[in-house]
Structure 1
Amino acid sequence: MLQIDHDRFQGIETLANDYNTALMTGAGLSFIAAMLHLVVIVGGPSWYHLFGAGKRFVRAAEAGKRCPTLITLGIAAILAGFGLYALSGAGFLPPLPMLRPLLCVITLVYLIRGVAGPVVLRGTGRSPIFIWTTSGICLIYGLCHLVGSAQMWQLMG
């Protein structure tokens, strides 16, 4: 008969019980998105194209312009900041400045991008697959933040 060593998994139970799962998930997703942006920079122009950057952006990267790298670094930094605020809202990190209003802004950014993306990005040179996939991803990110923020609202003071 299989026996489970419950003491061995104590840390996992504590993580699941002490921190808000939705915001922890949102944080992880934001960090993954930030890392993917850094990977695209390392991968170069073909990776910009693969991950759905517009034609002008890819051509600028091919020409060795700094602008695509700087913009992508900026996006990665913002996404990492979103992740830090989600960790703070989840109770994993101490409260960051303006936690409640910034979590509202972060949630709105993801939700608006998710809902409006298919309309706003149509005709921009990006593929429909990219537009719908990234919009769906952003909607999921936004819903994680929305649910977690609602659950933790009173505790965020």
Structure 2
Amino acid sequence: MAKSNYLTGAALCCALAALAHLGCIVFGADWYRFFGAGEQMALMAERGDWHPTIVTTILVLILMLWALYALSGAGIIRRLPLLRTALCVISAIFLLRGLAFVAIMPLFPENSVLFWLVSSTICLFIGALFALGTVKAWHYLSITSDKF
């Protein structure tokens, strides 16, 4: 199978996003503020509260898992379980997050409009990479079933 540049790009974007989130854990409140996590998260990080670390660690793990699924769909690493389903769900999550930010904004009132515009654009971009890569690789992905 030819490697999918779209899914390879999606994997790289997810890995970079995971590293940025990991930087928030390592470098603390200033990074949470810079990346727009909100003053409450930054203050909790300054106090040594575990909440920001736990939430951010979960995001890092999810993004790295999604990077692995992108690499699997691109044919760079072995086929992971439920690959087609996972790629469709990941595509949908990124695209939905990018498009539905107006509905999500009231849940996080501390985040700036700039944060929402930038992060939503990034999510749309990554979602498009996943979606285009999944469509391009669909035939390869359907050769074997989505069963373990």
Q: Which runs of 4+ in 1 moved over 3 A?
A: none
The one-character-per-residue Cα deviations of 1:92-125 (angstroms, maximum 9, x if unpaired) are 1111000011111111110011101133124621
- How far apart are 1:45 and its partner, in Å? 0.7
Cα distance between partner residues in 2 of 1:101 and 1:80: 17
Q: Say which structure, 1 or 2, has more relative contact order (CA 8 Å, 6+ apart).
A: 2
2:70 maps to which residue?
86
Q: Does 1:146 align with 2:131?
A: yes
CA RMSD of aligned residues (A): 1.3
- Point out the structure with max Rg over C-alpha: 1
Q: Does 1:21 align with 2:5?
A: yes
1:95 maps to which residue?
79
Q: How many residues align?
A: 141
Q: State the TM-score, normalized to the length of structure 1.
A: 0.86
2:27 maps to which residue?
43
1:136 maps to which residue?
121
Cα distance between partner residues in 2 of 1:105 and 1:18: 23
- The one-letter amino acid of 2:121's match is G
- How far apart are 1:80 and its partner, in Å? 0.5
Cα distance between partner residues in 1 of 2:102 and 2:16: 22
Q: Which runs of 5+ in 2 are unaligned?
A: 143-148
